[in-house]
């Protein structure tokens, strides 16, 4: 090893010791040089069995490459609070130390081609992580804290031992690779990745639902299939959901005996809607199908009365939730009660029988939610975009509509999303 490497490192901040026969840290060679300002350290393709403890002394290190060694253990490197990129691929690691989870600056982490069977529960502390490569390990699941990786864009999980899609749908992923695992079914949760996911790799994974022929057609068809199946299961599930007009006392609004109007939380006067028995709109999950249909039909009548005519594409209450997913009716409802509150130019409507694109639907939904916020509705009467587009939480969507219409909304047991089941390959 020549002194030229260390002299150059003093000037550039890059120390490259790769492709050598190093087993231990070259202490004698390093001592004469001032290397405190090293930004990049390359120890790849050596013969280290552990990361040298001296690495912890490079306090402003940004890139550390220890790939293609025989590393089995890692010292406490939590003091490297400037580290952005850590490459540990192709080593003999069987675990990832929790001390590394304290490096909050890390954005790129490569742990591929090791023998890691689990990640520590503190893994979610790596909140700035954007790229994570876990290919070719022995993982069967991911820690619950994974949902806190809100900046993760690229996740590679190929050649592991997953039996189901791990909890990665909380992350705004653009690339997801689950190739060569044992996943046979994609849950509806993956639909939450639709706004961001661009690359989905599943080569060698025996997915049965959606059927292989759907998966082969690409990501767009996978999402379309899952949304169709979820809608059908949601309608089936809602038959067992209590969603009816109850005679319970109106809790969210108080009646004005002089005007027979309702006053919402902010004091805005709303016309009083007359349901059967002057009751409230009740939502629970233990009702019979007849009451469920009756309540949805009643709500549809009130909406059509407010809009001044029939709603195209919604024939009865059972179609109400699906008919609201593109946001058009919701925006019209806002403007019917608060004229011109949402500019017509911001409302996208289908043309020539063509459905709205996802972007157009999302803009309609965002306009509706923003209108509720600007009207100063309380948080529990404001829904989120997935509650409308994906019907992730119908209870919240219905609560916002009832608040807008001046109907008291009484909440029963929280709605439970139907469990996804494997469907026969004959269904499309």
Average pLDDT, whole number, for the chain? 78
pLDDT at 333 over 60: yes
Q: Please state which of the ranges 224-233, 310-319, 408-417 shows the lowest mean pLDDT.
A: 408-417
Q: What is the pLDDT of residues 354-391, one digit of tens each?
A: 788 888 889 999 999 999 988 888 888 889 998 898 88
Give the confidence band of 128 by pLDDT, cuts at 50, 70, 90. Answer: very high
Q: Please state which of the ranges 27-31, 87-91, 100-104 shows the lowest mean pLDDT.
A: 27-31
Q: Please state which of the ranges 122-136, 165-179, 233-247, 287-301 shows the lowest mean pLDDT.
A: 233-247
Q: What is the pLDDT of residues 266-316, one digit of tens each?
A: 333 334 343 443 344 444 443 344 666 677 778 888 888 888 888 887 887
* Dist CA 253 CA 169 (whole Å): 37
Q: How many domains does the chain have?
A: 2
Q: Which residue has the higher pLDDT, 105 or 187?
A: 105
* CATH number of the structural domain spanning residue 174: 3.80.10.10
Give the confidence band of 86 by pLDDT, cuts at 50, 70, 90. Answer: very high
> What is the 3 state secondary structure string of 97-164?
CHHHHHCCCCCEEECCCCCCCCCCHHHHHCCCCCEEECCCCCCCCCCHHHHHCCCCCEEECCCCCCCC
Give the confidence band of 263 by pLDDT, cuts at 50, 70, 90. Answer: very low
Contact between 165 and 189 under an 8 Å Cβ cutoff? The reply is yes
Q: Do residues 291 and 219 both lie within one domain?
A: no
Tell whether 419 is covered by a domain: no
Q: Which residue has the higher pLDDT, 291 or 399?
A: 399
Q: Do residues 12 and 134 both lie within one domain?
A: yes
Domain boundaries, position 405: 237-411
CB atoms within 10 A of CB 351: 8
Boundary residue ending a domain (170, 202, 233): 233
Average pLDDT in the 400-420 region? 53
> What's the pTM?
0.57
Q: Do residues 260 and 227 both lie within one domain?
A: no
CB atoms within 10 A of CB 184: 13
Tell whether 91 is covered by a domain: yes
13 Rama class: left (phi>0) / alpha (psi -120 to 50) / beta: left
CA 331-335-340 angle, 5° bins? 115
Tell whether 356 is covered by a domain: yes
Tell whether 8 is covered by a domain: yes
Q: Do residues 156 and 262 both lie within one domain?
A: no
Tell whether 425 is covered by a domain: no
Q: Do residues 193 and 127 both lie within one domain?
A: yes
Tell whether 289 is covered by a domain: yes
Contact between 124 and 145 under an 8 Å Cβ cutoff? The reply is yes
Tell whether 225 is covered by a domain: yes
* CATH number of the structural domain spanning residue 265: 1.10.418.10
Average pLDDT in the 94-117 region? 95
Q: Do residues 223 and 310 both lie within one domain?
A: no
For residue 177, list its beta bridge partners: 156, 201
Q: Please state which of the ranges 22-26, 77-81, 225-229, 310-314 shows the lowest mean pLDDT.
A: 22-26
pLDDT value of position 29: 61
Tell whether 354 is covered by a domain: yes
pLDDT value of position 34: 67
Q: What is the pLDDT of residues 23-45, one digit of tens each?
A: 777 755 665 566 778 899 999 99
């Amino acid at each position: 090893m020549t002194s030229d490497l260390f002299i150059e490192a003093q000037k550039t901040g890059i120390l490259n010791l790769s492709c050598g026969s190093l087993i231990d840290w070259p202490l004698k060679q390093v001592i004469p040089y001032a290397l405190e300002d090293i930004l990049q350290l390359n120890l790849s393709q050596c013969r280290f069995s552990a990361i040298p403890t001296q690495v912890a002394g490079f306090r402003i290190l940004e890139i550390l490459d220890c790939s293609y060694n025989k590393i089995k253990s890692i010292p406490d490197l939590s003091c490297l609070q400037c580290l952005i990129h850590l490459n540990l691929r192709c080593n003999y690691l069987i675990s990832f130390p929790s001390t590394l989870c304290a490096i909050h600056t890390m954005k790129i982490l490569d742990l591929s081609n090791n023998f890691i069977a689990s990640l520590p529960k503190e893994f979610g502390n790596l909140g700035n992580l954007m790229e994570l490569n876990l290919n070719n390990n022995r993982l069967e699941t991911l820690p619950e804290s994974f949902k806190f990786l809100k900046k993760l864009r690229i996740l590679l999980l190929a050649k592991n031992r997953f039996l189901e899609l791990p909890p990665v749908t909380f992350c705004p992923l653009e690339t997801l690779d689950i190739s060569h695992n044992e996943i046979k079914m994609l849950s509806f949760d993956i639909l939450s990745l639709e706004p961001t996911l661009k690359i989905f790799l599943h080569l060698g994974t025996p997915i049965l639902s959606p059927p292989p022929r759907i998966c082969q057609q690409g990501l767009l068809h996978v999402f379309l299939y899952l949304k169709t199946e979820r809608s059908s299961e949601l309608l089936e599930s809602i038959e067992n959901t209590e969603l009816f007009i109850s005679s319970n006392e109106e809790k969210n609004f108080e009646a004005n005996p002089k005007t027979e109007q309702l006053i919402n939380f902010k004091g805005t006067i709303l016309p009083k809607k007359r349901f059967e028995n002057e009751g409230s709109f009740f939502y629970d999950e233990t009702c019979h199908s007849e009451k469920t249909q009756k309540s949805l039909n009643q709500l549809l009548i009130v909406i059509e009365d407010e809009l001044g005519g029939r709603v195209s594409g919604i024939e009865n209450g059972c179609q109400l939730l699906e008919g609201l997913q593109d946001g058009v009716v919701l925006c019209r409802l806002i403007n019917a009660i608060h004229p011109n509150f949402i500019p017509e130019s911001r409302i996208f409507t289908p043309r020539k029988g063509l459905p709205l694109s996802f972007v157009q639907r999302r803009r309609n939904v965002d306009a509706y939610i923003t209108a509720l916020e600007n009207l100063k509705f309380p948080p529990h009467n404001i829904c989120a975009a997935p509650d409308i587009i994906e019907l992730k939480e119908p209870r919240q969507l219905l609560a916002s509509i009832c608040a807008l219409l001046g109907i008291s909304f009484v909440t029963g047991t929280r709605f439970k999303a139907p469990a996804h089941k494997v469907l026969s390959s004959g269904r499309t």
